[in-house]
Amino acid sequence: MGHGYQGWWGSLGGPKQKYTVRYGVAHTAQKPLYGTLHAAFFNTFRRVRAQAFYVLFPVATYYYVWTKAQEYNKWLYTKEGRETLERLNAD
């Protein structure tokens, strides 16, 4: 298999080598948890901000209806509320 002298390191000067493969370790394999805390904080903030309307709007609506119903119920148990209710039911 005729391999001849190709020179010293750094000045090989021989024919181009074929089928040379370089192997390396990816940066994600070297530091698998690099930036996870930073990314988790900002990604969580982004997701919460994106979903805030879908949570806060129903909660605010429910709270508003609940407090108005409680006020109306308290008013019904007053003298004025009972009289108004009797007047409405009499018709």
Residue of higher predicted confidence among 88 and 60: 60
Asked if the structure places residue 40 within a domain, the reply is: no
Residue of higher predicted confidence among 49 and 90: 49
pLDDT of 44: 95
Structural domain of residue 83, as residue ranges? 54-90
d(Cα 77, Cα 90) in Å, to the nearest integer? Answer: 18
pTM summary value: 0.53
> Are the C-beta atoms of 14 and 6 separated by less than 8 Å?
yes
> Are the C-beta atoms of 48 and 54 separated by less than 8 Å?
no
Asked if the structure places residue 1 within a domain, the reply is: no
**In terms of DSSP H, where are the helices of the chain?**
27-30, 36-76, 79-90
Asked if the structure places residue 46 within a domain, the reply is: no
Asked if the structure places residue 59 within a domain, the reply is: yes
Asked if the structure places residue 69 within a domain, the reply is: yes
Q: For the chain, how many structural domains are there in total?
A: 1
Asked if the structure places residue 8 within a domain, the reply is: no
pLDDT single digits (tens) 56-66:
999 999 999 99
Cβ neighbours of 84 (radius 10 Å): 13
Asked if the structure places residue 74 within a domain, the reply is: yes
Residue 18 scores a pLDDT above 80: no
Asked if the structure places residue 45 within a domain, the reply is: no
pLDDT single digits (tens) 24-57:
888 878 888 888 999 999 999 999 999 999 999 9
Cβ neighbours of 81 (radius 10 Å): 14
pLDDT of 11: 65
- Where does the pLDDT of residue 21 fall: very low under 50, low under 70, confident under 90, or very high at 90 and above? confident
